[in-house]
Amino acid sequence: MEPELISKKDLLLTCGISYGQLYRWKRKGLIPEDWFVRKSAFTGQETFFPREKMLARVDRILSMKDEDASLDEIAEAVSSAPLPDTFSREELMQRDVVSSSALDLFAERHPGTGELRFAELLAVSVADMLLRSGEAGRDETLAAIATLEEGWTTCEATSCDLVLLRKMGVSAVLIVSSASELLVETDVRIVARINLPERIEGLKSRLKPQERGEKP
Amino acid sequence: MSDTNRPDTRIAGAGTVSGGTYGEVVIAGAGTVRGDVDCLAFKVGGVADVQGTLSAQTITVGGSASFMGDVRGTDVVFSGNADVHGALRADSLKISGVARIDGAVTAPRVEIRGTTKIGDGCEAETFDAQGVFSVGGLLNAGTVTIRLYGGCDAHDIGGETIDVRLASAWTFLPFMGDRNLTADSIEGDTIYLENTRAKVVRGANVTIGAGCTIDLVEYTGTLTGSAGVVASRKVTAGA
C-alpha cells in the first residue's frame, strides 16, 4: 500500500508555491523530514512527497497564512507532538469532535473517567469513526478501543493503522504498520482500516483553531 | 559575572574542569572538560578538550578546541581551530578560523570567513560564505551568499535567494587552486551563479554567469545567460 507520490515540481505547479517557500517551510518544521522521498529519475535525483498528505498540508499552511498566522504559529499547529491538555466531555460534544455514543461507549469501559487525555481521545475518535460507518458493531468497537489502549505503549501510533477483520461473523482487531499490505484468505473481509496519523492530524486541526480563537 | 550558583573557573596552565553549571569558563592553557557544561561564557585561548556537551550564551574559540558532544550557544565565534563531533545549534555562528562540525548546523545567521566542513546539513536564514566550505547534506537558507575563494561544495542547496560569485579580483590568491562551487542540485526563487558545477538548477529567475557547467536548468520565469548549460527547459503549468 505505497501511497501515491507527487514530484516536487508538480507540487509547486499544482499549488502555485515557490522553491523558496517550500525550503522555508522545511526549515520551520512544517513538513516532516520523512515526507521527503528521494528517488532517482532520468534527470538524476528527484524529490517526491506522499501526494494526499502533502497537498492537504500545503492547503492548510496556505489557508492559515490567509488568516495571518505566523510561520511559528503554523508550525505549532501542525507539529506532530501530542497536545498536552486534557479534554472534557462537554467541550468535545460542544465542538462536535466526537459523537456522544462514542463517548458513552468509552465511559462504559472506564466508568468515572472525567477528562480525556489525547491518547484516550484518539481511541474515542476511532470508535466514533467505526460507529458512524455503520459497518462495525458495538462489541467490535469496544474491542478496537481495548486494542488501541493496549497497543498505545508498544506501537508507534504515528505510523500505524487499526484494522478490523471479520470472517463468518467472527471479528478481530489488529494494529499494523501503515506501510504494510494485508493478505487475507478469501472468506476474510476487511471491514475497516483506519490510518491513525490521519486521525491524529484530524483531531488536532479540529481542536487547534478554536483554541486559538478563544484566546482574548 | 560571578554569582554563587554560577562560579567562574579558569585554567591558565594545565588542568581539568568537571562538568556542571558555571558563569564564565576560560581556558587559556591546556584544559580538559569532563562532562556536560552549562555556562554563560565559554572562552578558549589555549587548547581545550570538551568531553561532553556544551551549552553557553557566548562561545569563543581563539585557540583550539574539540567538542565530543553537541554544542549549543547564542553567539558562537570560532576564530581558531574548532572540532565539533556532534551537532551545532546557535543564534549566530561566525567562523573565521578552521572548523569542522560532524553533525548538522542550525543557526539563523551563519557567517563563514575561514574554512569550514559540515558533515550533515546546514539550516540558516542567512548563509554568508567568503571562504572555503563543504556541506555534506542540504544547505537550506533564506539567503545564500557565496563568494568563492577556493573549492566549495554542498550536496544540495535550497532557498529563496542564492547568489554565487567569484570573490572580487583584487583578492589575488593564486595558491588557493580552483575556485568553484559543486552541488548536485540548486533550487531557489532567484538564482545567480558563477563558477558553479551542478547537475540541475531549478528556480523562478535564473542567471548563469561565467565559468559554469550545468547539466539541466529548469525555470518558471526567466533564464539569463546559457554558457555552460547543457540543457534548459521552461516549466509551465500543464506542461
Residue B91 sits in which domain range? 1-103
CB A113 within 8 A of CB A106: yes
Does residue B132 lie in a domain region? yes
Same domain, B133 and B205: yes
Mean pLDDT within B131-153 = 95
Maximum Cα–Cα distance across chain B: 70
Residue B229 counted as domain residue: yes
The pLDDT tens digits of the residues spanning A3-24 come to 789 999 899 999 999 999 999 9
User: What's the pLDDT tens digit per position in B154-208?
Assistant: 999 999 999 999 987 655 555 556 889 999 999 999 999 999 999 999 999 999 9
Q: Does the beta-carbon distance from A27 to B237 stay under 8 Å?
A: no
Tell whether B76 is covered by a domain: yes
Specify the DSSP class assigned to residue A30: -
The C-alpha atoms of residue A180 and residue A183 are separated, in whole angstroms, by: 10
* Residue B159 to residue A13, Cβ atoms within 8 A: no
Same domain, yes or no: B68 and B175: no
The number of beta carbons lying within 10 Å of the beta carbon of residue B51 is 16
Between A and B, how many residue pairs show a Cβ–Cβ distance under 8 A? 50
- The larger pLDDT score, comparing residue B85 to residue A135, is at B85
- Nearest of B157, B139, B137, B145 to residue B198 by alpha carbon: B157
Residue B59 lies in a domain: yes
- The residue type of A201 is E
- B150 and B221 share one domain: yes
Query: pLDDT tier at A75 (50, 70, 90 boundaries)?
Result: confident
Of residues A44 and A7, more confidence is placed in A7
Residues of A with CB under 8 A from a CB of B: 9, 13, 18-20, 22-24, 26-27, 43-45
Q: Where are the extended beta strands (E) located within chain B?
A: 9-11, 14-27, 30-44, 47-50, 54-61, 64-67, 71-78, 81-84, 88-95, 98-101, 105-106, 109-112, 115-118, 122-148, 152-166, 181-193, 196-208, 213-219, 223-224, 229-234
Chain A residues near residue B202 by CB distance under 8 angstroms: 9, 19
Q: Highest mean pLDDT range out of A100-109, A117-126, A146-155, B195-204?
A: B195-204
Indicate whether B163 and B193 sit together in one domain: yes
Cβ neighbour number for residue A5 with a 10 Å cutoff: 15
Q: Does B235 touch chain A (CB under 8 A)?
A: yes
Residue B113 maps to a domain? no
Into how many domains does chain B fold? 2
Q: How far apart are CA A110 and CA A113, in angstroms?
A: 6
Judge if B5 and B59 occupy the same domain.
yes
The pLDDT assigned to B68 comes to 95
Q: For residue B3, is it within any domain?
A: yes
> Residues B40, B144: one domain?
no
Mutate to test the interface with A, among B155, B160, B162 (most CBs of A within 10 A): B160
DSSP state of B3: B
- Dmax of chain A from CA atoms? 61
Cell numbers for A110 = 472506564
Triad A172, A177, A183: Cα angle to 5°: 55
Strand positions, DSSP E, A1-111: 5-7, 37-41, 44-50
Tell me if A19 and B199 make a contact (CB, 8 A cut-off): no
> Are residue B95 and residue B177 in the same domain, yes or no?
no
Q: Are residues B180 and B85 in the same domain?
A: no
Claim to verify: residue B91 and residue B167 sit in the same structural domain? no
Domains of chain A as residue ranges with CATH: 5-78 (1.10.1660.10), 89-156+197-214 (no CATH)
**B153 and B224 together in one domain:** yes
Residues B210 and B143 in one domain: yes
Identify the helix (H) or strand (E) that includes residue A201. Answer: helix A196-214
Does the residue B149 lie in any domain?
yes
Is there a contact between A44 and B200 if contact means CB atoms under 8 Å apart? yes
State whether B98 and B135 are in the same domain.
Answer: no
Predicted complex ipTM: 0.89
DSSP reduced 3-state for B101: strand
- Distance from the Cα of A7 to chain B's closest Cα (Å) equals 13
* CB contact at 8 A, B201 and B216: yes
Does residue B118 lie in a domain region?
no
Mean pLDDT of B90-117: 96
